[in-house]
Amino acid sequence: MIKTSCHCGQVTVEIPTAPETLTSCNCSMCHRIGALWAYYTLDQVDISADTELLNYLQGDRTLTLHSCGHCGCTTHYVGTDGKPDARVGVNMRMAPRELVESLPARRFDGAETWKWLD
Ligand SMILES: [Zn+2]
């Protein structure tokens, strides 16, 4: 298990294994928050929040972005289909820095073509 946490530590997301790559997306949301994503399913991760989560339903309503209500860090998103294997994007910016710096990041054009840019 690898533990990711927001800055104040009240929201944590534990993931089973490190991803092979991180995704840097340029869509209107990711461009703003600078997240680096790794993908799991809801039943693979352990999400804990000791404070209120800020929940932001994206414009196309396919996912809800979750941020710590205290320190504001965006920790993860969850697909809105409600299934146990719903896709979860974990913001690896919340993971230990040494781990993040050891993983390659791929650029994804979520703004225009929905294709990888590498
Ligand atoms: Zn926090």
Burial of residue 110 (number of CB atoms within 10 Å: 0-12, 13-18, 19+): middle
Q: Rg for the chain (alpha carbons), in Å? A: 13
Average pLDDT over residues 52-80: 93
Give bridge partners of residue 108 from the DSSP assignment: 25, 116
List the one residue out of 79, 76, 80 whose CA is nearest residue 67. 76
Residue 75 domain-assigned? Answer: yes
Number of separate domains in the chain: 1
Residue 84 has pLDDT above 90, yes or no: no
CATH of the domain at 40: 2.170.150.70
Residue 16 located in a structural domain: yes
The rounded Å distance from CA 10 to ligand 1 centre is 5
In a domain, 118, yes or no: no
- 85 Cα: distance to centroid of ligand 1 (angstroms): 26
What digits encode the pLDDT tens for the residues 89-109? 999 999 999 999 999 999 999
Place of tokens 């979860």: 88
Domain range for 97 = 2-108
pLDDT of residue 82: 77
* Domain assignment of residue 47, yes or no: yes
Residue 31 CA to ligand 1 centre (angstroms): 21
